[in-house]
Amino acid sequence: MEQNEQLPLDVLILAAGLGTRMRSNLAKVLHKLDGRPLINHVCRTATALAPRKIYVVIGHQGEDVKSAVLEELNEENAEFAWQKEQLGTGHAVNSAREFLENEDSTLLVLSGDVPMIRAETLAALVQKHHTHRGRGAACTILTVNLSDPTGYGRIVRDSEGLFNRIVEQKDATDEEKAVKEINSGIYCFNTKKLYSALTRVKNNNAQGEYYLTDVPALLREEGEDIAIYRHSDAHEIEGINNRVQLADMERTLCRRTISRLMLDYGVTFIDPKNSYVSERANIGRDTIIYPNVAIEGETVIGDGCLIRSGTRITNSRIGRSVEILDNCVITDSEISDTCTVGPMAHLRGHARMEEKAKVGNFVELKKTILGRGSKANHLTYLGDATIGEKTNIGAGTITCNYDGKNKHATAIGNNVRIGSDTMLIAPVKVGDGAVTGAGSVVNKDVEENKLVVGAPARAIKTLNQE
Ligand code: UD1
Ligand code: CA
């Protein structure tokens, strides 16, 4: 007999369902966990196993699901099978028949709505499938014991404890409902045997669907070996069928992330239950996070920072010893060591603060570099601007960067003093050591060390250089 171990691995992900229980206009697998669609989590985990190819069954909002999948997978590693009508998980697998029925491979079947499964667990499942009784099984089912198995398919075993069949919640007798061991919806199959058995699956059940869960029993009746790999971590195997489960999973993931940051990385959370941190974020030692902070995406925060309440930081890099006061929004931006920000500041669009720079209340930085030791302390908009070192931007300063059609750049040098309420009409440059008077409207370049005043601003004096 052929050795399973020599067979290549293919992956099939089921992701065509609408997910009725979500009560949503958005297909279930596009709902987000940790800021990424559920399907993306499953695709990334599958990639870690280095399969030959990943097949994805799509249907509801199939084009959108396809785009989400292609954020994780290269086009040459992915193949899409359309399931136009959703007639059950067996029918979904059957939709990929043209690609798979003649393959001599092991097929790992995953559910698009079981996002926490780890690659190590899947690798152990494949290993068990390949080595069961020395020659491998026709099908290996990933199961887990749940204290509350409601909603899942149950694993029915015979008097010797061997696999008998899977029974769905809606088709189960009271005795079967008492079984705690559930079907994860994740399996390995011998691909050819799976497709051959699928032709015999009927839809005579409570939901009138073609169940993939009938295949293992059909194979067993033909004398094939069915193996079970029982896992111990129930969280990994939880499926998302409704929004309560989605919220619970988000909480679980976040709690694990925060515990890891506290225990392994020495981060202080004043109120861990009321902070949100993405699994993908990194935070350094002795950084203190106050309640109601959200740290999203691939954010990196260095050692010894202080992040006060109400702040949201998304996909940004924060250096060491940075102080971010209350209610700031920081996206796609970079803040270097020992800067201070806020309260109520907004950094976005690749804003960058260099060391010891300071941004105060009601200041917005968009696509702007604020140089080393420079300050914008109050009520200011700086967009498309480059600001040198040790420059002070007075309260109420605005870069008028948009002429109604195009965005224009402002360049401000080192040691400049921009007076309060200055309007900088871009494109415009202000040279090193220059000063603008309060309320000036700067619509022409200002030379180095000039004092300009008025609207429009005129040079009235050359300043002494210290
Ligand atoms: C399924 C299993 C159940 C298991 C549970 C684990 C069946 C019949 N039941 O139930 O034993 O305990 O998963 O989470 O398989 N899908 C399609 N096309 C369809 C139907 C579903 O692509 O026609 C996809 C869905 O998008 C989803 C996955 O298959 O990603 C599972 O479908 P779902 O309806 O959620 O199955 P469950 O009722 O959870
Ligand atoms: Ca499900």
Ligand nearest to the CA of 212: 1
Rounded to the nearest angstrom, the distance between the alpha carbon of 74 and the centre of ligand 2 is 26
- What pLDDT sits at residue 454? 97
Instruction: Compute the distance between CA of residue 424 and CA of residue 410 in angstroms, rounded to an integer.
Output: 7
Name the β-bridge partners of 296: 314
The H-or-E segment that residue 192 falls in is: helix 191-198
Q: 340: which 2 tokens?
A: 């201070």
Residues of the chain by 3-state class (helix, strand, coil), percent to 5: 25, 30, 45
Q: Whose CA is nearest to atom 16 of ligand 1?
A: 17
Domain 4-237 -> CATH class: alpha beta
Instruction: Compute the distance between CA of residue 309 and CA of residue 342 in angstroms, rounded to an integer.
Output: 11
Counted residue by residue, the chain has a size of: 466
At the topology level, CATH places domain 244-462 in: UDP N-Acetylglucosamine Acyltransferase; domain 1 (2.160.10)
Q: Alpha helices, DSSP H only, in 73-207? A: 89-94, 97-100, 119-131, 174-177, 191-198
Ligand nearest to the CA of 154: 1
Rounded to the nearest angstrom, the distance between the alpha carbon of 130 and the centre of ligand 2 is 26
Query: Does 110 contact ligand 1 (Cβ within 6 A)?
Result: no
Q: Which residue has the tokens 């887990």?
A: 144
Q: Which residues of the chain have pLDDT under 70?
A: 1-3, 465-466
- What pLDDT sits at residue 429? 98
- What pLDDT sits at residue 321? 98
Q: Which residue has the tokens 């619509």?
A: 443
Name the β-bridge partners of 452: 436, 459
Rounded to the nearest angstrom, the distance between the alpha carbon of 58 and the centre of ligand 2 is 15
Query: Does 143 contact ligand 1 (Cβ within 6 A)?
Result: no
Instruction: Compute the distance between CA of residue 291 and CA of residue 311 in angstroms, rounded to an integer.
Output: 9
Rounded to the nearest angstrom, the distance between the alpha carbon of 120 and the centre of ligand 1 is 22
Kindly tell me the sign of the dihedral angle through the C-alpha atoms of 448, 453, 456, 459: negative
Query: Does 269 contact ligand 1 (Cβ within 6 A)?
Result: no
**Can you tell me which atom of ligand 1 is nearest the CA of 183?**
12
Residues designated catalytic: 378
Instruction: Compute the distance between CA of residue 295 and CA of residue 324 in angstroms, rounded to an integer.
Output: 12
**Can you tell me which atom of ligand 1 is nearest the CA of 90?**
15
- What pLDDT sits at residue 1? 46
Query: Does 115 contact ligand 1 (Cβ within 6 A)?
Result: no
- What pLDDT sits at residue 466? 60
Instruction: Compute the distance between CA of residue 107 and CA of residue 92 in angstroms, rounded to an integer.
Output: 14
Rounded to the nearest angstrom, the distance between the alpha carbon of 17 and the centre of ligand 1 is 8
CB 261 within 8 A of CB 280: no
Q: Which residue has the tokens 């559920």?
A: 38
- What pLDDT sits at residue 464? 82
**Cβ-count burial of 131 within 10 angstroms (0-12 exposed, 13-18 middle, 19+ buried)?**
middle
Helices and strands counted in the chain (H then E): 10, 40
**Three-class DSSP category at 251:** helix
How many Cα neighbours within 13 Å face the side chain of 348?
9
The H-or-E segment that residue 165 falls in is: strand 163-167
Which pairing describes strands 294-296 and 276-277: parallel, antiparallel, or unpaired? parallel
Query: Does 88 contact ligand 1 (Cβ within 6 A)?
Result: yes
Amino acid at 30: L
Q: Where are the domains of the chain?
A: 4-237, 244-462
Query: Does 239 contact ligand 1 (Cβ within 6 A)?
Result: yes
